[in-house]
Chains A and B, each alone.
Chain A
Amino acid sequence: MEFEKIKTEQQLIDRMSHCAKCLDLKFHCEPGKKAIAVCGGTGCLASDSMGILEKFQELIKEHGLEDKVTVNIVGCFGFCSQGPFVKVYPEETLYTKVKTKDVEEIFNTDILKNEVVTRLLFVDPQTKEHVQKQHDIAFYKLQKRDIALHGNGEINPEDLSEALGYGAFKGLVRALHMTRKEVINEVLQAGLRGRGGAGFPTGKKWSFVPDTDEPKYIICNGDEGDPGAFMDRSIIEGNPCAVIEGMMIAGYAIGAENGYFYVRAEYPTAVARLRKAIKELEDVGLLGDNILGTGFNFRCHVRLGAGAFVCGEETALINSIEGKRGMPRPRPPFPAVKGLWGHPSCVNNVETLACVPYILREGWEKFAAIGTADTKGTKVFALGGKVNNVGLVEVPMGTTLRQLIYDIGGGIPGNKKFKAIQTGGPSGGCLTEKDLDTPIDFGSLVAAGSMMGSGGAIVMDEDNCMVDVAKFYMTFICDESCGKCSPCRIGTKRCLDILTKICDGKGTPEDLEELRELSSFIRSNSLCALGQTATNPIESTMKSFADEYEAHVVDHKCPAHVCKNLMEYYIVPDKCAGCTLCSRNCPVNAIHVTDDPAKLPNRFIHHINQNLCIKCGSCLAGCRFGAIIKR
């Protein structure tokens, strides 16, 4: 869209109020008009939400309704397991799991006749009732999605006017009327702590940057490497302007004129939207020289990661921007003193920067009123794994894990038993049943033996083996250790060797002792946070699931029946119908018929030859009589 330049604050305010009116018209619609929003988050894009969008566009054109019906994409709705979403305004009807072939029905029924397509509404698993509106769905009820996820699922992330209509840059305008020190104080008073994992007070981090004349840099850490975490990606995809505004405020506060976004190359959609937003802001003059006539100059640059987890560590990230191997540097000197190209730099996480505009726009009091004594504001979690409602949630600090898993997450699928929730990714730990009523904040999660981390929250049930989970994280860390310091490079490899030995059924109780010793050595001797926290998954599972480790090394059994060498498939004679299906499915001919009569007449019980069995599980998957078990 062509934009006139915005050169003064008044021009910006005029533009904002114009855009706000347009956006209001989209949400509330004049009589006879409708607006359709299709989810354009990565999860829904994978389920062909672009196809849905195109189909709507086609139908609107076919019916000549271009003046009455609009359709565009919006950022992530967060309830990813129910996607793709289509939301129809002004009724705010939310359709879930929409397929391209459903579009015609929505169009003919809802758009043309103003009737709801009931079969595409969300069904509450408890009440079995259809829920028409988003805010009536249990998943959304305990959430507070207007700080870090501000605008997500509401505005079109590729349209600057929608962002302007939704309050973007109001925070910046206020900041530009304050001194740098006042901005830092505002953020300090709000109690904002870094959302990347460590929870360091953001205002304090900014205040460490010296007030000198040399070039300074603000860097946004979007190298979201924790497997199972997608908060930063969704925030950038859903409302890139919010992150840019946060970066500009931070840049103003520390006296930086250049900001660098470091985003994973694995996030093509986020990168494209970020670049588009930056381009549009440059075109209207909100990025560049003398912004709003205040004399504040600021430019944004995008740099891509290249698939190295360690680059999430701030000094490694700086090395990577400098075109070097992404290896951490010893600190001090801290980046605030000597960072990018040797100049003072400040590295903030995406979610942290996304919270900043809210604080400046609404005032620190409002932000500080949310949360616990330890941590203010909200936290975005990527809730995943064995939980019914997989998705992106934003909750006030102080929400309990139980609320997160059961009220918002909808509990564990298939009536399985909850076993653990893993927070903090490869640097974090597992929390169990006894920790479920812990209110979430930085301090409480550490006290419970895990950490907040960047926001990945993976739920595990009785079918997950915790030794195997520890091994999984160790495999990841071994791959991603940069190799600079030997405790991490060699130590994590040794840990993985031991864990592999245990999972293969060759472990001994002495191995557990060695694991403990190694873990504490790696923790105290590694150079950067990656190594220092690398063994958290081992230590926390050894503490909470000591019995599982013992079962592996003493009885040589895997209680969750995951470790292949420690379990077997077994046909329960009483249940076997002798249908021969398992025997036919077996890829290695390990299942044979015995002489004992089975349930069905003229059929015989089957038996698995354990020496031949490769434990592929195809017999169990196929059995219609529930006769095959793991033991």
Chain B
Amino acid sequence: MAKLQPGAVKQITEICNRYKNEPTPTMMILEDIQNEFGYIPLEVQELVSELTGIPVSEIYGVVTFYSFFSMTPKGKYVIGVCLGTACYVKGSQLVLDKFSEILGIKPGETTADGLFTLDVLRCIGACAIAPAVSINGKVYPQLKVDNVKNVIEEYVAKEA
């Protein structure tokens, strides 16, 4: 198992200490780690267990239960296609399919170059601008299938 870098250990220790006085801090610790590092691999779960005394089995159970937590790193750009009802009836499935086709990955996967992760969102509450797509928090309103290619190229161009 890969060893964690000292900097990461320090940061995780600090996060665990943040919630020392909470009766049940598991979710809060994991949320902060997810936000900070983008994923929660097994070795991190073991470290959290060591620091807090919460059994690693319980931590693993929580990480795998909630869709917000991930055990694998996400891409630099996380593309979230909203499949909430309002977006769905306005054709967001077709938008998702198009992203999937162009990027060559299924929802939940990350491209080999680590640039894009394709995710399905269940309603971001932006129903008035359906179909909505959110990329790293930036929301693209009323995205048409024909524009998917342009949106991807916008990010690829940024990297070039």
User: A residues bordering B, Cβ < 8 Å?
Assistant: 42-43, 46-47, 80-81, 83, 224-230, 233-234, 265-268, 303-309, 320-326, 341, 382, 384-386, 390-391, 422, 425, 456, 458, 460, 464, 469, 472-473, 476, 479-480, 482, 617-618, 621
Contacts and interface: CB of A to CB of B under 8 A. Distances in A.
26 contacts: A43-B127, A46-B129, A47-B141, A83-B128, A224-B125, A226-B123, A227-B85, A227-B86, A228-B84, A228-B85, A228-B127, A233-B125, A265-B68, A267-B125, A303-B27, A304-B27, A307-B122, A326-B65, A382-B125, A382-B127, A422-B85, A458-B86, A472-B83, A472-B88, A479-B122, A618-B146
A80 B127 contact: yes
A228 B86 contact: yes
B85 A425 contact: yes
B26 interface: yes
Nearest to B26: A323
Contacts of B126: 42-43, 46, 230
Nearest to B125: A230
Given A233-B125, A341-B23, A464-B89, A227 B84 contact: yes
A308 B67 CA distance: 7
A234 B126 CA distance: 11
Given A230-B126, A323-B25, A464-B89, 5 more contacts: A46-B126, A228-B123, A326-B65, A391-B128, A476-B83
Contacts of B124: 42, 266
Contacts of A422: 85
A390 B128 contact: yes
Contacts of B94: 617
Contact of B24 (A265, A321, A325): A321
B46 interface: no
> Which of B23, B62, B66, B127 has most chain A Cβ within 10 Å?
B127
Nearest to B35: A265
B68 A307 contact: yes
B7 interface: no
A42 B24 contact: no
A390 B141 contact: no
B121 interface: yes
Interface of B: 23-28, 30-31, 54, 58, 61-62, 65-69, 83-86, 88-90, 94, 121-130, 132, 137, 139, 141, 146
Nearest to B61: A325
Most B C-beta atoms less than 10 A away, residue of A306, A322, A325, A479: A306
Chain A CB count within 10 A is highest, among B26, B28, B62, B89, for: B89
Nearest to B67: A307
Contacts of B25: 323
Nearest to A463: B89
Contacts of B127: 43, 80, 228, 230, 382, 384-385, 390
Contacts of A265: 31, 68
6 closest Cβ contacts across the A-B interface?
A: A80-B128, A323-B26, A230-B125, A227-B84, A306-B66, A228-B85
B62 A266 contact: no
Contact of B31 (A306, A384, A621): A306
Residue from B66, B90, B125 with most neighbouring chain A CB atoms (10 Å): B125
A226 B127 CA distance: 12
B27 A320 contact: yes
Given A303-B27, A384-B85, A323 B125 contact: no
A80 B125 CA distance: 11
Nearest to A425: B85
